[in-house]
Amino acid sequence: MSPTVTITLDPAFRIAPVRPRTFGSFVEHLGRCVYTGIHEPDHPTADEDGFRTDVLELTRELGVTSVRYPGGNFVSGYKWEDGVGPVEERPARHDLAWHTTDPNTVGLDEFMAWAKKAGVEPMYAVNLGTRGVAEAVDVLQYANAPQGIALSDQRAANGHPEGYGIRMWCLGNEMDGPWQTGHKTPEEYARLATETARAMRQEDPDLELIACGSSSSSMETFGAWENIVLTEAYDFVDMISAHAYYAEHDGDQGSFLASAQDMDYFIESVVATADHVRAKLKREKRIHISFDEWNVWYQKRAESRPPSGDDWPVAPVLLEDHYTAIDAVVVGNLLISLLRHSDRVASASLAQLVNVIAPIMTEPGGRAWKQTTFHPFALTARHASGEVLRLAIDVPTYENARFGQSDLADSVATWDEESGELTIFAVSRATEGDLDLAVDLSAFGDLELVEALTLHHEDPYARNSADAPDTVAPQANDTVALEGGKLTAALPAISWSILRLKRA
């Protein structure tokens, strides 16, 4: 007999509205993300600005709403001025973070042109590793200020008379990490971030500013870092960042499938710390989370090892993980966690968009194709709407090495009262056999089943490729039935499902 997962849903049990910015992504000057990723002037599909239109089409299909740029570790040694003005006059620079050379062919103006074509909101990160307050204000004025001052006039002379109106700004990147160029103690970073934020708000008080939080929940400074930074910067920032990457280690599928358990812990710990600072400082506003780097990433594989020695290549193959069915299920579950915390996670960015630990892959001069992880992201971005619901779930548990005990399934639902659309997202963490799903929907009245799709493969390590791009893709789940306000389904082992219903 299969284990049973029982869920009860009610439209009154609401967490928060679905936030469009949950479905953000990330473009960094790393590996082939920019060069031969979004930008390849000699490609057959390239437009007049050198952007690959096949990648633009896939970006829109993915449902990306915002994109963080230009890094990442890259930004902590980046001089934004190198990437503006006549391309032939731009200097090539060594990137210390990834031991490569950046030709600066693509910079702020090119990225903003790409963002407009892609229909995404930009999130811009400033360098607080090797630079500081003055440079942050300079790039803000170049990007946003109306003509009439030196930097905005420089932008206009470069062909962009109107300001870009960038609202979201990251105050550095992973400054808690010893690997970061210009790594700071929490006290050093708190002071620098506060003074940078104060100056940027003098230029524009309506910006949304994001302080650096912890680079993972396993950092020794996790919790203490957020406390120190927010105690200093609370009045000047709107969000604090969180970064997390997950991978399967030594064949431990059970721990890997429960990765969202760590994301839940990460988010709830940062919320607790932020609210502690709020109480301590006696403030009314709440600090939200920008989970602006998250994904599956196999950091110990050879493809994640940067060049070394005298080798400083331009756009090498780097961090090009090829994702499997089980990776896609975990990505789908991480999205469930982000949605479940929509009351406090105001923004998130899947890292990254193209080639580098990415849902979209390209061949230089050739094809673009979808990795397995493309599908849960695209379907969640397309169909999560209205309000995120708090569900009651009764689910068996299983033992694993990392967490001890974890739920055998995870789920979240969204309800769009205006359109009458109810969408349930569910994962099975079982490594063998089906799970029986039973959902009580009687509180919604008459519903009809619109679509039921499940991403699953008999081989959890099956992958997509340019030659076989649909090896792992969602398929119709014909076990789903709806009768008398009760929905039933069989969820196969290691699977992610989307169940769409609508008011009859």
Peptide bond into 70 cis (omega under 30): yes
CA–CA–CA angle 336, 170, 113 (5° rounding) = 90
The string of DSSP codes covering 404-416 is EEEESEEEEEEEE
Q: Quick check: is 432 catalytic?
A: no
121 is catalytic: no
Q: Which helix (H) or strand (E) holds 295?
A: strand 288-296
Euclidean distance between CA atoms 61 and 472, whole angstroms: 17
CB 321 within 8 A of CB 303: yes
Selection from 282, 287, 380, 283 nearest residue 334 by Cα = 380
CA dist., res. 280 & res. 278, Å (int): 6
Handedness of CA 146, 149, 150, 153 (dihedral sign): positive
The one catalytic residue among 28, 248, 293, 421: 293
329/323 Cα distance (integer angstroms):
10
DSSP string, 134-190: HHHHHHHHHHHPPSSSHHHHHHHHTT--S-----EEEESS-TT-TTSTT---HHHHH
* Phi and psi torsions of 437, nearest 5°: -105, 130
> What tokens were used for 454?
């499940």
d(CA 324, CA 430): 16
Q: Which segments within 324-386 are labelled E, that is strand?
A: 345-351, 360-362, 368-370
Nearest to 424, CA basis, from 475, 498, 330, 485? 498
Q: How far apart are the first and last CA of the chain?
A: 33
Euclidean distance between CA atoms 389 and 15, whole angstroms: 6
- Give the angle 80-84-87 at the CA atoms, nearest 5°: 130
Could you tell me which residues are beta bridge partners of residue 68? 26, 123
Q: Which of 135, 174, 248, 387 is catalytic?
A: 174
**Tokens encoding 98:** 């990834």
Cis peptide bond prior to 352, omega within 30° of 0: yes
Active-site positions?
Answer: 174, 293
